[in-house]
């Protein structure tokens, strides 16, 4: 274009900045910026927004923010580009600060925050932001909004909201587009993690009926559901079907799930044999479930403790607990979520910050006493109870 003697205008730069962002071309982006300034188009809000967006997508947040702050006129897309840039780089506090300062917001603004929280693993905040958008505005979520909040629903077990989203998506024609592999995997994994094992398996079959092809991540969720549900026969069936029916070679994660499943069912010899038959060198995840525990890896202790607990080997649970204490090995605090009335309540192991913690622990004590009366807990060693609660 330049060789033909044709100079770019402000619209040309808008597209050029977008192209540089897509190509992740830092050097060319800076050169274009210099040329843009020399061309005298520094007041065009559309081109400047594209410039901010380019720097944000390239991860050059300081340059993006500098251009943003220097703009005398900013429209909603300008704010959205900056917010999305912060969220993409994990600076959610910076994103939220700008979001709160926005003079006007649209559905893209809310979606940028929801997506940012979800992509950075802050699922409770993602869902809270989505519910806030519903309650405080008249905006209708679009397809991108729903695709961003679905993983949050799955990871939190907030299936009431998830089902409501499905109804809304179906009614607005988004349903087919939302049903991509990532969404299927998110929901299957979410159900499995929260103990809704039968529903996870049923969703897997529904996925197959609708013509979606599973991948290796799908089978991690399915096998995890079998592990949590104690479904040994089903787990073995799914494991064997991976390569036979779907041409998916099992990876270490799948072998690890099977070792855990067999171990919890008391099939220790079969679990041991499975490790020996693995076509790859067992890593600490698989091997540590039964033998040669890594002293510094608490996850291996937890897996073996689960196997002992399920088999009623409370003496083994207590021994592992003492080993962990002696080696000063700690497990990341477990937590769970409960959805009630559209609100998410988070409970952390041994945490008393909840406003009704006294009632909660009183109920737990009552349940523990009833378990003892029915012979489900060995009261010869209080260490055992603590270990079970932690695991």
pLDDT averaged per 10 residues in sequence order, the chain, 391 residues:
59 79 75 76 80 88 91 91 92 94 94 92 92 89 85 79 78 64 81 86 91 90 92 95 92 87 82 77 50 52 64 72 66 61 65 74 81 60 41 38
What is the distance between the alpha carbons of residues 105 and 148, in angstroms, rounded to a whole number? 18
Q: HEC states along the chain? A: CCCCCCCCCHHHHHHHHHHHHHHCCHHHHHHHHHHHHHCCCCCCHHHHHHHHHHHHHCCCHHHHHHHHHHCCCCCHHHHHHHHHHHHHCCCHHHHHHHHHHCCCCCHHHHHHHHHHHHHCCCHHHHHHHHHHHHHHCCCCCCHHHHHHHHHHHHHHCCHHHHHHHHHHHHHCCCHHHHCCHHHHHHHHHHHHHCCCHHHHHHHHHHHHHCCCCCCHHHHHHHHHHHHHHCCHHHHHHHHHHHHHHHCCCCCHHHHHHHHHHHHHCCCHHHHHHHHHHCCCCCCHHHHCCCCCCCCCCHHHHHHHHHHHHHCCCHHHHHHHHHHHHHCCCCCCCCEEEEEECCEEEEEECCCCCCCCHHHHHHHHHHHHHHHHHCCCCCCCCHHHHHHHHHC
Predicted pLDDT at 389: 38
Predicted pLDDT at 152: 85
Predicted pLDDT at 328: 53
pTM of the model: 0.54
Q: Is 311 exposed, middle or buried (0-12, 13-18, 19+ CB in 10 A)?
A: middle
Tell which phi-psi region holds residue 344, choosing left (phi > 0), alpha (psi between -120 and 50) or beta.
beta
Tokens, residue 389: 């609660």
Q: How many CB atoms lie within 10 A of CB 205?
A: 10
Q: How many CB atoms lie within 10 A of CB 145?
A: 22
β-bridge partners, 345: 338
What is the distance between the alpha carbons of residues 68 and 339, in angstroms, rounded to a whole number? 39
Predicted pLDDT at 196: 85
Crossing angle of helices 197-209 and 181-193, in 10° steps, is 160
Predicted pLDDT at 381: 42
Q: Is 43 exposed, middle or buried (0-12, 13-18, 19+ CB in 10 A)?
A: exposed
Dihedrals phi, psi of 57, to nearest 5 degrees? -70, -25
**Domain coordinates in residue numbering, the chain:** 1-88
- Report the Cα–Cα distance between both ends of the chain, in Å, rounded: 65
């Amino acid at each position: 274009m330049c060789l033909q003697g044709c100079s770019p205008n402000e619209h040309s730069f808008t597209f050029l900045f977008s192209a540089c962002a897509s190509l992740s071309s830092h050097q060319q982006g800076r050169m274009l910026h210099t040329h843009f300034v020399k061309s005298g188009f520094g007041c065009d809000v559309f081109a400047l927004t594209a410039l901010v967006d380019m720097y944000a997508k390239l991860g050059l947040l300081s340059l993006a923010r500098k251009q943003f702050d220097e703009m005398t006129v900013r429209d909603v897309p300008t704010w959205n580009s900056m917010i999305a840039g912060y969220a993409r780089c994990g600076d959610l506090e910076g994103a939220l600060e700008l979001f709160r300062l926005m003079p006007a917001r649209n559905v893209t603004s809310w979606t940028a925050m929801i997506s940012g929280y979800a992509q950075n693993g802050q699922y409770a905040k993602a869902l809270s932001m989505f519910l806030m958008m519903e309650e405080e505005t008249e905006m209708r979520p679009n397809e991108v909004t729903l695709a961003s909040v679905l993983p949050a629903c799955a990871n939190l077990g907030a299936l009431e909201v998830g089902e409501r989203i499905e109804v809304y998506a179906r009614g607005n024609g988004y349903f087919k587009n939302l049903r991509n592999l990532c969404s299927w995997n998110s929901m299957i994994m979410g159900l499995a993690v929260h103990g809704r094992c039968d529903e996870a398996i049923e969703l897997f079959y529904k996925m197959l009926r609708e013509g979606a092809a599973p991948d290796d991540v799908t089978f991690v969720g399915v096998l995890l559901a079998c592990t949590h549900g104690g479904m040994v026969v089903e787990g073995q069936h799914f494991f064997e079907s991976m390569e036979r029916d779907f041409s998916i070679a099992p990876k270490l994660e799948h072998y690890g799930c099977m070792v855990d499943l067999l171990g919890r069912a008391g099939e220790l010899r079969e679990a041991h044999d499975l490790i020996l038959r693995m076509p790859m060198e067992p890593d600490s995840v698989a091997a540590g479930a039964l033998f040669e525990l890594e002293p510094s890896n608490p996850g291996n202790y937890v897996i073996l403790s689960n196997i002992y607990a399920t088999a009623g080997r409370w003496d083994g649970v207590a021994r592992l607990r003492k080993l962990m204490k002696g080696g000063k090995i700690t497990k990341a605090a477990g937590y769970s979520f409960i959805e009630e009335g559209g609100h998410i309540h988070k409970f952390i192991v041994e945490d008393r910050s909840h406003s009704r913690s006294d009632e909660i622990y009183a109920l737990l004590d009552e349940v523990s006493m009833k378990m003892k009366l029915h012979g489900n807990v060995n009261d010869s060693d209080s260490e055992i109870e603590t270990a079970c609660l932690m695991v």
